[in-house]
Amino acid sequence: MTENHETQVRAKSLSAPFVLLLLAALLFSALGIWQVKRLAWKQDLIARVEQRVHAAPVAVPGNDVGPAFLADHEYQRVQLRGHYVVSGTALVRAVTTLGAGYWVLTPLKLEDGRLIYVNRGYVPVGSKVEAERARTPQGEYQITGLLRLPEPGGGFLRSNDAEGDKWYSRDIELLSQTRRLSHVAPFFVDAQVASKAGNVVANNVSVQSSSANQQDGPVPGLTVISFPNNHLSYALTWFAMAVLSAGMALWLRRRGRDL
């Protein structure tokens, strides 16, 4: 085998890695561009949610709204008025800035007869405290809060146990079935403000655990609004890998020419 032939063989052996590296560079570039687009989408989502949270409250939507509408209006400030239905109350496991405990969910019956579950707020763990603080208030209440999507299934590690009345997520449909309630809205409302006869009893409460122990009822206003936004770092990673792959392809190309 002549030296010229050996050179040609070595050059051909480098062509496959060169093509693969070039394809990898194109793929990584495409992924980087996709992450940039995702970044723009996430920033727009955060801006829209921020606007909803601080906007003036609007009338609560009807029960016939679909998933698309709810997704576009989650965290919208809404207002509703009605009487709490004691039989529908449920305690849902929660971990908050005040510690571990429960969300107190109670349906509010509106004047038109439909029911909307209201997350009245947080109560700490402790059977006596739970029973005392989860007592449903009587009379007509006006609620201002955030529209939220239901949480079917259960928590991360535990499923809801309807028969045992153990709840790890705010599964409105299953709660309604278990309580045998009808005309229930397919969403719930995180209470921020609850008032009776014009007296505000809670308004965006943000207190320490010791203060929570002095509350007469569930502590509202603890909604956590957080959207992970790592798209920029992902995009930079993909673009860096694209540059690295292109650089290696260029090095192989030059090496093939030098043979």
For the chain, what are the domain ranges?
3-46+229-258, 76-212
Name the pTM for this structure: 0.70
Residue 229 pLDDT level (bands cut at 50, 70, 90): confident
Q: How far is CA 163 from CA 7, 67, 159, in A?
A: 76, 27, 12
The whole-number pLDDT of residue 119 equals 95
Residues 6+ apart with CB under 8 A from 171: 150, 151, 152, 153, 154, 160
79 and 58 in contact (C-beta within 8 Å)? yes
Beta bridge partners of 140: 83
Averaged pLDDT score across all residues of the chain: 81
In angstroms, the CA 216 to CA 248 distance is 67
Residues 6+ apart with CB under 8 A from 79: 57, 58, 59, 60, 142, 143, 144
The DSSP secondary structure of 113-169, one letter per residue, reads S-EEEEEEEEEES-HHHHHHHTPPPPSEEEEEEEEE----SB-SS-B-BTTTTBBSS
Could you tell me the two tokens for 28? 């990584």
Domain 76-212 has CATH 2.40.50: yes
| Per-residue pLDDT at 7 exceeds 70 | no
User: Rounded to the nearest 10 degrees, how much is the dihedral formed by the CA atoms of 4, 10, 15, 17?
Assistant: -170
**CB-based contacts of 60, cutoff 8 Å, min separation 6:** 78, 79, 80, 110, 116, 147, 185, 189
Listed range (43-47, 88-92, 95-99) with the worst mean pLDDT? 43-47
Residue 106 CA to residue 229 CA, distance in Å, equals 33
pLDDT at 205 over 60: no
Rounded Cα–Cα distance for residues 259 and 171 (Å): 68
